[in-house]
Structure 1
Amino acid sequence: QAPAADLIESGGDVRARLSDNASARAQYEALLELMDSFEGTDWARRRATAQRKIGGTYEHQGSMDTAMLWYMRALDTLAALDSNAVALERARLLSDLGWLYFRRNELEPARQELEAALVLTTALDAHELAAQIHNRIGGLAWAQGDLATAHHYVEQRLINTQQAGDLAGQASAYNNLGIIAETQGRQDDALAYSQQALAISEQIGNLREAAIAANTSGMALYNAGQPEQARGWFAQAHERATAVRDTYFGMVALLNMSRALARLGRWEETERTVRQSQFIAAQMNLPIVQLAGQTVLAEAALDKGDLEAAVREYHTAHALAADESEEYARFLRVGARIAHARGDVQECERRLGEAESLFDQLQNVPELERTRALRTTLGPPCACSKEHA
């Protein structure tokens, strides 16, 4: 029994590392079927592991709701078992569940699950898993604007992975350090970190981390005023994410590419790329990405002088704007530009102030600087109607 189960599971793991999620899932499902009649705590733990891994294949393909169902199924399996006997698997599951919440932009449940996972791993001295959780908590802190905490956790992850000789972990840590530096406005550092991550990722053949590194390189160049070079890196990020069937990150790369295309004045390509990202976001039930795309389209319409189209795209975005995030702050900033174009100075100032406050709270230096610069670049307001969007 055990050798057959080991063989099937290892086959699934190999396919998962190659990002062949459908084949990996078939192996894990076969493993579940094999173990269905096996009794005992260890077999039940292994059933939970297989359920978690099936959830992971769905998550990597962008099927977040289905992934959540499998993670919850694994939690139910573990709930009936002695907690000490399955503590390590519970920690792995809570870590993956927390990261899924993060990717769905549900930050408070993400924090709860990741902190619970870290408590378990600390008690177990599970250093490799603890390094992964440090990295994920760092990512969560970054999303909440606590960049000092984010840097602390990610740097701890880098130290742990260097000590263990874990190249994949080092690539991930360098990627996150690059993202933090980019948010802080340290674009040279962001580019250096992302290039380190890219070199390691290509050395070990990890296309997913290479995609993240390419995207961060693109963001650093975009923020440095080099949209054409940025567009090239975003295209590479999308290509690599597509190669490993990472639907979520492919969508992120498309969204960022649309921003670079808009900066270049390539309007038709901008709209086409935004619509691609929004189609994926709708399938994944990610309204925040749909909001981001609408904001890009509204801003592009303003840049080419089409106020009517800008208002239309902005009103579509308004129905999606229910969350005080970085994307919501961008939405507010576009609203300020529309109000200015309509001659409503008071409404323009209100929305600019809200956007500025939110970017400041999130410690997003490049976007904060763009928002402040807008005050000086807008010029005198239009003398037309003061009806605002």
Structure 2
Amino acid sequence: MEVLQVLHMNKGDGETSYAKNSTVQSKIISITKPIMEEAIGILWGDVPNDHDHDHESIGIADLGCSSGPNSLAVISEIMDIIYAKCRSLGRPSPEFRVSLNDLPGNDFNSIFESLPDFFKKLEEDKGVGFGPCFVSGVAGSFYNRLFPSKSLHFVHSSSSLHWLSQFPPSLQSNACKVLNKGKIYISKSSPECVLDAYSVQFQKDFSMFLKSRAPEMVPGGRMVLSFMGRRTTDPTTEESCHHLELLANALMSMVSEGLVEEEKVDSFNVPYYAPCPEELKLEIQKQGSFVVDRLEAFEIDWDGGFEDMNCPFRAASRGQRVAKTIRAVVESMVEYHFGKNIMDDLFQRYADLVEDHLSKNGTKYINLVLSITRKS
């Protein structure tokens, strides 16, 4: 099973789609807005820097854009910030070259279908003086080169870089020896070799991400990246892995009833890693093309919080909301490995386990937000 082929958010706008179950990701985007504003302010001259200059045309990329309302909402946010900054500085609005990137299996069609309404709203809201906007889709892994040299000024990626480019090879190659029995990710019972396998894969991937972006960005260009992470150096901490521990428990409950083969669970490893700040800083320092401006950690409720009291999704229990959120993200991989016919049963069991856990614990996700600048 290749990650490139099987990892994509649930398509369309149905009940289990990512479009209808991405409140957590929307919350993260909202939290990171002040950091984006700061990064763009520096890019535009709020703080003097060696690369401050007028931009007639600005390249923007959203890496891991997925689909649904968040995809164009974050681009709209970025353009709003730039437009407001230009007006405050008395500068003309630039033209916007927007690139939306994700893996080939992403639901790009739904994004393209929503572009006419997006452009219409831009025209109505901004009117005369707002630079033209050119949007394109770029299919491919952000762990490789995607764009021409020095074509990007601002890069954004949210809720994507915790996904690995591949399943840790050492876990796959030891299929004859079960290394992480009954688990699908790092857990308290995982041996050290499993922790190391995930850590090494993340280090390789994040280093390749930085190496790939370095030639694509102009000197002084900025990146704001956010991922699920952890505050401590311990990768088995509950805040970074317990949501997947509960999914493994749901699978094992089906094993106990003869609905799933135990070997299937033992051979499945989620291509995910929640890093700590020290790991990010180390890889940035080793790669050498960027300097860290800000690195912060935020707590996120497993169901996104749901401040909107009118949201119809609030009627569901917290366990159901979390299960739908996770299902929209991981179902493509889980279905490929275990088969389509167990999905409804699996995620109902998962919802029950999450409901029980959250009734007794205040576990939250930790989201790391990183703002970095391309060196000269």
When the two structures are superposed, what TM-score results if normalisation uses the length of structure 2?
0.29
Greater helix content: 1
Greater strand content: 2
The structure, 1 or 2, with the larger RCO (C-alpha pairs under 8 Å, 6+ apart) is 2
When the two structures are superposed, what TM-score results if normalisation uses the length of structure 1?
0.28
